[in-house]
């Protein structure tokens, strides 16, 4: 959040109003209530820094999970009107413009998520792959490549692995969502 927007937001409250800080992780549906909050000011530092020490995680209630989802929806690009399958494929190919849902640095995986108007979500996992056989060939090029796996998270899904899908199913889902006017 930009300082200007934060200042405008905070100015709406009375001077003696308490400031509540909640650190939430919607992926594991936990909130971390701050144990201690400090502001670090240093002469050599241009921007203020807030240091938040959090306590034990607590389960998020459904209302907080939905609020976190709304924040993510607001941050993602608007779903354009996709007239044909080529436009739908192009939308899926631009997954790097979506929000990063989570990363697994140890496996060099990045998961991008786009929440659809009906509450379901498209997830694209991008990962590195090394073709050892490639470097032994007389073909010029990089033996390491980037591959993707597609997921369609329908409402009420249990595990990400069970939601694995393909581009054709994602295109059908995009068609269905826009046909239903959502």
Closest CA to 174 of 84, 113, 57, 102: 84
Q: What is the separation of C-alpha 77 from the centre of its chain, rounded to a whole number of angstroms?
A: 12
pLDDT score at 25: 61
- From first to last of its 182 residues, the chain has per-residue pLDDT tens of 566 776 676 677 767 766 666 666 655 656 666 667 666 666 776 676 767 777 776 776 777 777 777 777 888 888 999 999 999 999 999 999 998 888 998 999 999 999 999 989 999 999 988 777 655 555 555 667 888 999 999 988 889 999 999 999 999 999 999 988 75
pLDDT at 151 (0 to 100): 98
Q: What is the residue whose two structure tokens read 């046909």?
A: 179
pLDDT at 81: 93
Q: What is residue 74's predicted lDDT score, i.e. its pLDDT?
A: 80
List the domain boundaries for the chain. Answer: 3-64, 78-179
Task: Name the pTM for this structure.
Answer: 0.64
CB-based burial, 108-147: b 16+ in 10 Å, e otherwise: eebbbbbbbeeebbbbbbbeeeeeeeeeeeeeeeeeeeee
At 134 the pLDDT is 58
Helices (H) and strands (E) in the chain, counts: 5, 8
Q: Which whole-number Å values give the CA distances from 115 to 48, 60, 93, 103, 156, in the listed order? A: 33, 19, 16, 17, 14
């Amino acid at each position: 959040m930009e300082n200007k927007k934060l200042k405008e937001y905070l100015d709406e409250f009375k001077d003696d109003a308490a400031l509540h800080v909640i650190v939430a992780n919607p992926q594991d549906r936990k909130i971390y209530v701050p144990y201690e909050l400090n502001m670090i000011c240093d002469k050599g530092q241009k921007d203020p820094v807030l240091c938040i020490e959090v306590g034990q995680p607590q389960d998020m209630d459904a209302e907080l999970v939905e609020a976190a989802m709304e924040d993510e929806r607001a941050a993602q690009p608007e779903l354009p009107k996709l007239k044909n399958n080529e436009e739908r494929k192009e939308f899926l190919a631009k997954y790097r413009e979506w929000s990063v849902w989570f990363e697994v640095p140890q496996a060099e995986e990045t998961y991008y998520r786009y929440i659809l108007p009906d509450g379901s979500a498209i997830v694209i996992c991008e990962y590195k792959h090394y073709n050892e056989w490639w470097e032994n060939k007389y073909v010029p090029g990089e033996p390491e490549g980037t591959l993707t796996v597609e997921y369609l998270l329908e409402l009420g899904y249990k595990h990400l692995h069970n939601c694995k899908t393909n581009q054709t199913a994602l295109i059908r889902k995009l068609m269905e969502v826009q046909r239903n006017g959502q």
